[in-house]
Amino acid sequence: MQYAMLIFGDDREWTTLSPADEQEVMTQISEWFERWQPTGKVVSGGAELEPRDTARTVRAGADGQPVVTDGPYLELKEVIGGIVRLECDDIDEATRIAATWPLSPGMSAVEVRPVTGS
């Protein structure tokens, strides 16, 4: 079954890292992929998302028509900053793999959800 691993954090924290610290985190992420991709557990790699100020949100307006606003909901502290699709036997295995993700400033939590129809 496939699972989505959603990487949450405050992307504003990421911008406070020194270039050396940012490189260290990127090295840890590369090592994570090098560990799990050969096992077949990572389905299609991952995707890092651009910062929240580049986002657009579409919601239904009062009249039912779409309303587009810049960015995610303003009161959010943590936003989804990246996604990885996993192929695992069950959610427990997916959670064990997600628990090895290198958390750092700007990446404070990982959520695992089953992908519908996988």
| CA triple 99-101-104, angle to 5 deg | 115
Location of structure tokens 């090895």? 100
Which helix or strand (DSSP H or E) is residue 81 part of?
strand 79-87
Count the domains in the chain. Answer: 1
According to the model, what pLDDT value does residue 32 have? 94
Q: The domain spanning residue 96 has which CATH number?
A: 3.30.70.1060
The predicted structure's pLDDT at residue 113 = 93
This prediction has a pTM of 0.81
Domain membership of residue 79 as a residue range = 2-114
Chunked into runs of 10 residues, the chain (118 residues) has average pLDDT values of 91 87 93 95 83 82 88 71 93 95 89 87
Give the per-residue pLDDT at 74: 60
At residue 48, the pLDDT reads 80
Task: Identify the pLDDT of residue 10.
Answer: 85
